A = this chain, B = another copy of it.
């Protein structure tokens, strides 16, 4: 049966060019993710062996390993030599795009995101910003202050700094643009590929308090992030402040994969 499945698919050698859902290991990974999310494999359950998955999908063990290693990196499953893989968590992790884009994240969760640009000005890069954006000191940058709402309530205040080459495109966008990421992708073909996030807590300043509708001095979750393209060119750096109680960041890590770091301030 694995014979017929493999033989029927194609027999040249490579793989069918653009099959729905991308590469085969991706499709296997997706199916496993779905099965876990659907409760087919609850927390603590063991996954089928690599050999079983291989014959079931008509793939080789290497391809199956590629698929499960993706779930391993996401922290969804644990793995020990000799023992079957165990489900550790059932909540799916988000795609990078969903994480990067407030609007896309809200949409994926069935909520509506709004946004409003409060201020947008060209300025010169401060030393720290110049370093983060890898531009010369004093280079022109676009500084944007944006309030983001979730189901109508303000939850996030973004202070974003764009490098000049991308700032010109951002400057032309409407003030109430829902998803800047989406527009930049559609208009300029720009794709964000990498992000570095520093998370801590700060007290709300006067401006923060006013725009988020909280008292001055109340706690805010601050995420300072810098986003780059696939070839490492910095695009923007931002200071995002979340109203507590609205958004929680979740990180999964394990001995096998560890993307989280704790650093001194």
- Is A246 located at the chain interface by the 8 A CB criterion? yes
Size range of the chain A interface in the assembly: 35 or more
Beta-carbon contact of B248 and A259 below 8 Å: no
Residues of B within 8 A of A44 (CB): 134, 232-233
Hey, what's the 0/1 contact readout for A188-202 against B, CB within 8 Å counting as 1? 000111111111111
Complex alpha-carbon distance, A57 and B245, angstroms: 51
Beta-carbon contact of A265 and B245 below 8 Å: yes
CB distance from A242 to the nearest CB of B (A): 8
Residues of B within 8 A of A195 (CB): 252-254
Q: Within residues 240 to 265 of chain A, which ones have a CB less than 8 A from any CB in chain B?
A: 242, 244-255, 257-265
- Closest partner residue, chain B, to A246 (CB atom): B265
Q: Within residues 186 to 225 of chain A, which ones have a CB less than 8 A from any CB in chain B?
A: 191-203, 217-222
Hey, what's the 0/1 contact readout for A73-84 against B, CB within 8 Å counting as 1? 111001010010
Judged by DSSP, the binding face of A is mixed
- Is A173 located at the chain interface by the 8 A CB criterion? no
- Is A16 located at the chain interface by the 8 A CB criterion? no
- Is A118 located at the chain interface by the 8 A CB criterion? no
Residues of B within 8 A of A265 (CB): 244-248
Beta-carbon contact of A199 and B78 below 8 Å: no
10 A-B contacts (beta carbon < 8 Å) = A69-B69, A93-B258, A191-B255, A196-B251, A198-B248, A200-B248, A219-B219, A244-B265, A247-B262, A251-B261
